Amino acid sequence: MSSNAGPGWVKSSYSSNGNQCVEVNVGSATVVGVRDTKQEGAGPELWVPAASAAAFVAGVVNGTLSA
């Protein structure tokens, strides 16, 4: 899937000025894209099913997944 899909990329609100940023693209109800901001749109993109992305975030929030 191309970075041109959906309404566009949004930088995470948790990103800092230390070049440790990610962008997400939720322009589709079925897939979510993630990429590294440092690549300025030229790097690889990870696209996962929206349900999988939601399960991952829920796992982080509820403590099922940790660093």
pLDDT at residue 25, rounded to an integer: 92
Output the pLDDT for position 58. 93
- DSSP codes of every residue in 19-50: S--EEEE--SSSEEEEEEGGGTT-S-EEEEEH
pLDDT of residue 38 exceeding 90: no
- Is the pLDDT confidence value at 44 over 70? yes
Q: Is the pLDDT of residue 4 over 60?
A: no
CB atoms within 10 A of CB 47: 17
Chain segment 18-32, per-residue pLDDT in tens:
667 888 998 888 999
Mean pLDDT (the chain) is: 81
Per-residue pLDDT at 55: 94
